[in-house]
């Protein structure tokens, strides 16, 4: 079994999380951001469930810029702005020096770029990376 | 009033970049989404649990000694007969430690769940303990009623 590499006091929960709510175009949006040892989890919902779940990871190449791989692992596969949202966030995570992958869940009533931008800004402002 | 709650929630967006360390057994409710975290210390293993409640779904993370995300599974009742279906979303296609937990949670509670679990494979006792603790907590939080057991 793996032992945690962090020496945590008994009262600290090992997973950091932040939970907040905002209004986007009249839709109440709940966002939860969690930081695990090996990944980040961001959940944004307007519909009371996780919705579409995406996985985004950074692939470090020896040469120049890193590349990113984004995939829908559950839910809508025909909404390009969901993929774009994940792509934006994984690049943001990478720009802060973290190589951890991101699991992003978006349960949204509308998939317009305006909504995506609001969610991305809100997540960036409350980031845990 | 809804507008006051919205203002309070919006003002919390000004939180800085450092994450908040939540103490064990803390419940945070923001609107309808509730996050509960707790830890169970067993003899040789520490199990961490995180439950995020959405209005129509539950996300649960089970950590065994570490804070890795582990394998991700989704489980729910499906048409036509409300049979329980479970699918692996990330990793875990061969050891199925979390998938059976996810499936049994839906069987016992009728909830729509997404479970992340990093319990190592070939640990049936640990898996059973983790599942029991999680279901006890779900019942005590009122997310389902133990008397109305969902029967497949």
pLDDT digit string (tens) for A28-70?
A: 999 999 999 999 999 999 999 999 999 999 988 777 788 999 9
Helix (H, G, I), strand (E, B) or coil at A83: helix
State the CATH number of the domain containing residue A13.
Answer: 3.30.230.90
Number of residue pairs across A and B with CB atoms under 8 Å?
147
Residues spanned by the domain of A29: 2-125
Judged by CB atoms closer than 8 Å, whether chains meet at A36 and B56 is answered as no
Question: How far is it, in rounded angstroms, from Cα B121 to Cα B128?
Answer: 12
Question: How far is it, in rounded angstroms, from Cα B48 to Cα B37?
Answer: 8
- Tens of pLDDT along A58-101? 988 777 788 999 999 999 999 999 999 999 999 999 999 999 99
The complex's ipTM works out to: 0.86
Among A123, A100, A124, A117, smallest CA distance to A25 is for: A117
Give residue B25's pLDDT: 41
Average pLDDT, integer, range B127-150:
83
pLDDT at B15 over 60: no
Among B97, B107, B121, B85, smallest CA distance to A74 is for: B85
- Radius of gyration of chain B measured on its C-alpha atoms: 17
Report chain A residues whose CB lies below 8 A from the CB of B87. Answer: 74
Q: How far is B148 from chain A, CA to nearest CA, in Å?
A: 22
Number of folded domains that form chain A: 1
**Residue tagged 């019942």 (tokens):** B139
Helix (H, G, I), strand (E, B) or coil at B106: helix
* Choice between A64 and A115, residue whose per-residue pLDDT is larger: A115
Judged by CB atoms closer than 8 Å, whether chains meet at A48 and B32 is answered as yes
Nearest to A17 among B22, B45, B66 (CB): B22
Of the pLDDT bands very low, low, confident and very high (cuts 50, 70, 90), residue B32 is confident
Give residue A61's pLDDT: 78
- Tens of pLDDT along B75-132? 999 988 889 999 999 986 666 788 889 999 999 988 899 999 999 888 889 999 999 9
- Choose from A49, A97, A109 for mutation: most chain B CBs within 10 A: A49
Give residue A64's pLDDT: 78
């Amino acid at each position: 079994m793996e032992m945690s590499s962090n020496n945590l006091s008994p009262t600290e929960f090992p997973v950091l999380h932040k939970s907040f709510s905002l209004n986007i175009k009249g839709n109440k949006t709940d966002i939860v951001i969690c930081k695990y040892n090996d990944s980040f989890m961001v959940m944004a919902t307007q519909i009371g469930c996780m919705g579409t779940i995406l996985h985004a990871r950074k692939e470090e190449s020896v040469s120049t810029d890193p590349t990113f791989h984004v995939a829908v692992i559950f839910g809508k596969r025909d909404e390009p702005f969901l993929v774009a949202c994940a792509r934006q966030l994984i690049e943001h995570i990478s720009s802060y020096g973290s190589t951890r992958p991101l699991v992003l869940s978006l349960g949204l009533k509308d998939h317009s770029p305006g909504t995506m931008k609001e969610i991305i800004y809100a997540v960036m402002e409350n980031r845990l990376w | 009033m809804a507008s006051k709650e919205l203002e309070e929630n919006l003002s919390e967006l000004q939180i800085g970049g450092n994450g908040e360390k939540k103490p064990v057994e803390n419940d945070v409710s923001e609107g309808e989404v509730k996050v509960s975290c707790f830890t169970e210390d067993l003899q040789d293993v520490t199990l961490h649990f995180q439950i995020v409640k959405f209005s129509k779904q539950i996300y649960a993370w089970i950590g065994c000694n570490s804070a890795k995300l582990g394998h991700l599974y989704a489980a729910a009742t499906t048409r036509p007969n409300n049979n329980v279906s479970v699918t692996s979303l990330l990793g875990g296609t061969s050891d199925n430690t979390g998938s059976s937990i996810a499936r049994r949670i839906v069987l016992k509670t009728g909830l729509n769940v997404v479970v992340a679990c990093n319990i190592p494979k070939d640990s049936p006792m640990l898996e059973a303990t983790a599942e029991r603790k999680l279901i006890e907590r779900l019942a005590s939080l009122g997310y389902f009623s133990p008397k109305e057991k969902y029967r497949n």
